[in-house]
Structure 1
């Protein structure tokens, strides 16, 4: 049988209980310090700017002057930067902040074509340059004064639209989708109809309002004639009505006389906002609307602001 070798005898070891506890305490203390340092070294999460809590707040935050931008390549930076309020410290900050803007843009986001019984949706294809200060890391900042527009086109003659249920749903879905791309939480429906088509438009507006979040405002454009003696707009759940006081055809003189006399249209729902065009002059001598939308048949990038600054300054000093 193999025998066990003889090893030198060792002195008995002292109990390590106290040493072990002290070592554990030191390790725990060091670990907690390390964790604390690690947590402090983490980059702070970027805070998302709060959204407007109500559609009334979103609408009231829009600047007093809005530029309509159609489906064309455009650059509105010269107009936007030139209109900024010179607030405190403006000399030290050449790039105006969103809060300093006196001008915003309402940009064509989606076009819906109604033809026969169908409805086709086309998103904006042309680029638009906006002030760099309006952008965050992942796109436009929340609350940037940009309104998205859904424009409805209707085929004529042999392809006159049926104005059916499918077409209603397509328009409402387009409005809801455009609202998700609106940093201002305001979406605008641009839809001109004949008298016999008013019930269709009214139902589209009601359904759109029901489908939109409660804190998103719904703006609609309106023929100027709808704002003189015609009360049907009062029943629509639109948060803003923008009467287009240009391209008024046969009623132009009568409607312009109304504006020249009072500075706004008589229907209450049509009074807070007004749409004018650069190519139809002179404008009414006095304007009492709180917000003005401007239409330009040409690109804003090709329209020098210098020629309009005095006129616009007289309206919104």
Structure 2
């Protein structure tokens, strides 16, 4: 029995060696370095290679007035049993009824994120929540509440606007175990920001372990060890293979 346990430990260490990130949460250190985002549509990802995982929207919340409207994922998602799965909670703000950003809405986010965490198989959960400048304190309080509620062996990943990792840096270091700046859909300053990222990368150290890219925009150079990929249309094996072709040129 002792020899069997030793063999299992050796195999786990060998598997982790190629994807381990320095100073990362143990769960993140074992997460694949290539992750496909599966948004709220039907996806068949059983073809994903063994060195890739999927971060899938498991639930969405709309903050509207005093309410937090929860909508669990209804679209079909097919993945191989061994594929790394990271559940994502997507939070939206109503434009018609500006949210109160009250304690009840915060607790609804925390509760739903804890619920979907059980749908993963790598002890990692992700929060996708963009806010305006005036709403930043609410996001910071919410993330702090999530961290207090999550078991210590579960890592928290959060997405971020690219600007939050450049001149408009406001995220506190250690706010989450992983910050994923989205290096796409960067607005009117997109060309300028892409040029800066091409030569300098992200200014904040906590934004240099994972980055999000879009398949329908010119490719940037690799800005972090872990890459999350967003596709505006359903994923295909050919699309994934082309995305990782060594002949692909990283454009400015």
TM (norm. structure 1) is: 0.68
Count matched residues: 230
Segment of structure 1 superposing worse, 249-258 or 67-76: 249-258
- Aligned partner of 2:211 in structure 1 is 274
Q: Alignment RMSD, CA only?
A: 2.3
Could you tell me how far apart the structure 1 residues matched to 2:111 and 2:130 are?
A: 18
Unaligned runs of 5+ in 2: 1-11, 13-23
Could you tell me how far apart the structure 1 residues matched to 2:190 and 2:248 are?
A: 26
Say which of 139, 148, 153 aligns to 2:92. 153
> Which structure has greater strand proportion?
2
Could you tell me how far apart the structure 2 residues matched to 1:236 and 1:154 are?
A: 25
Show CA shifts across 1:201-228 (max 9, x none): 0000000000000000000000000000
Say which of 210, 235, 244 aligns to 2:182. 244
Say which of 226, 231, 252 aligns to 2:164. 226
> Which structure has greater helix proportion?
1
Residue 106 of structure 1 pairs with residue 55 of structure 2? yes
How far did 1:235 drift? Answer: 4.2
Could you tell me how far apart the structure 1 residues matched to 2:240 and 2:104 are?
A: 43
Say which of 32, 37, 40 aligns to 1:71. 40
Asked if structure 1 preserves the Cα contact closer than 8 Å seen for 2:215 and 2:229, the reply is: yes
Say which of 116, 131, 148 aligns to 2:65. 116
- Aligned partner of 1:138 in structure 2 is none
Show CA shifts across 1:81-105 (max 9, x none): 3xxxxxxxxxxxxxxxxxxx32100
Higher gyration radius (CA): 1
- Aligned partner of 2:117 in structure 1 is 179
- Aligned partner of 1:213 in structure 2 is 151
TM (norm. structure 2) is: 0.85
Instruction: Name the SS of the counterpart of 2:101 in structure 1.
Output: coil
Could you tell me how far apart the structure 1 residues matched to 2:109 and 2:119 are?
A: 16
